[in-house]
């Protein structure tokens, strides 16, 4: 008896291995809350397997809360943006608080931003952010030491 394995592909789907891209909340908030940088940000993340620390869900929810409190968005619009974000194919990774703390102190970041830096360092993934301070800290940390990349910046 012969066993056959059938692989069925959905029309239009590309199953090729995609390169990793670590995305932060500033970048995704710009996309999902339709901020001016959102269109450029959306173009830059196309074609990547997106990853982020697991705290990203709460960071995006907090952006929505802040926009509602400032009167920049209605609660309904913010909820729709958060629902749209929830549908994003995004791989989430845990980061230990002790690790985030140590990196935050060393690089002058918040513990939240240090979680992104930790993932960029451990997964050796490029970091896409709109946060200038995080980008500068990541550039310094990622270009130092033995894993220095020769092809230029890790920032998008």
Domains of the chain, residue spans: 20-143
- In the β-sheet with 127-128, what is the strand arrangement from edge to edge? 91-93, 49-53, 20-23, 127-128
The confidence score (pLDDT) of residue 3 equals 66
The confidence score (pLDDT) of residue 12 equals 57
The confidence score (pLDDT) of residue 150 equals 38
Q: State how far Cα 93 lies from the chain centre.
A: 11
Alpha-carbon dihedral of residues 10, 12, 13, 14, nearest 10 degrees?
A: 140
Alpha-carbon distances of 47 from 15, 42, 89, 142, rounded to whole Å = 11, 10, 12, 23
Q: Is 133:154 a contact under the CB 8 Å cutoff? A: no
Q: pTM here?
A: 0.81
Handedness of CA 62, 64, 67, 71 (dihedral sign): negative
Q: The domain 20-143 is classified under which CATH number: 3.30.43.10, 3.40.190.10, 3.40.50.1010, 3.90.950.10? A: 3.40.50.1010
Query: Tens place of pLDDT for every residue, the chain, 156 residues?
Result: 666 766 666 555 555 588 999 999 999 999 999 999 999 999 999 999 999 999 999 999 999 999 999 999 999 999 999 999 999 999 999 999 999 999 999 999 999 999 999 999 999 999 999 999 999 999 988 887 544 433 433 344
Nearest-5° Cα angle at 91, 142 to 39: 80
């Amino acid at each position: 008896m012969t066993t056959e394995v059938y692989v069925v592909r959905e029309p239009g789907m590309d199953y090729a291995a995609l390169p990793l891209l670590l995305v932060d909340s500033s970048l995704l908030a710009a996309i999902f809350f339709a901020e001016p940088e959102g269109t450029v940000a959306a173009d830059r993340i196309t074609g990547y397997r997106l990853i982020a620390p697991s705290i990203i869900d709460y960071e995006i929810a907090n952006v929505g809360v802040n926009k509602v409190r400032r009167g920049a968005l209605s609660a309904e619009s913010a909820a729709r943006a958060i629902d749209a974000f929830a549908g994003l194919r995004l791989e989430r990774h845990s980061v230990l608080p002790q690790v985030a703390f140590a990196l935050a102190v060393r690089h002058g970041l918040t513990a939240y931003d240090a979680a992104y830096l930790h993932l960029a360092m451990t997964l050796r993934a490029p970091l896409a952010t709109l946060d200038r301070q995080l980008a500068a800290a990541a550039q310094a940390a990622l270009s130092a030491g033995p894993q220095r990349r020769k092809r230029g910046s890790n920032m998008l």
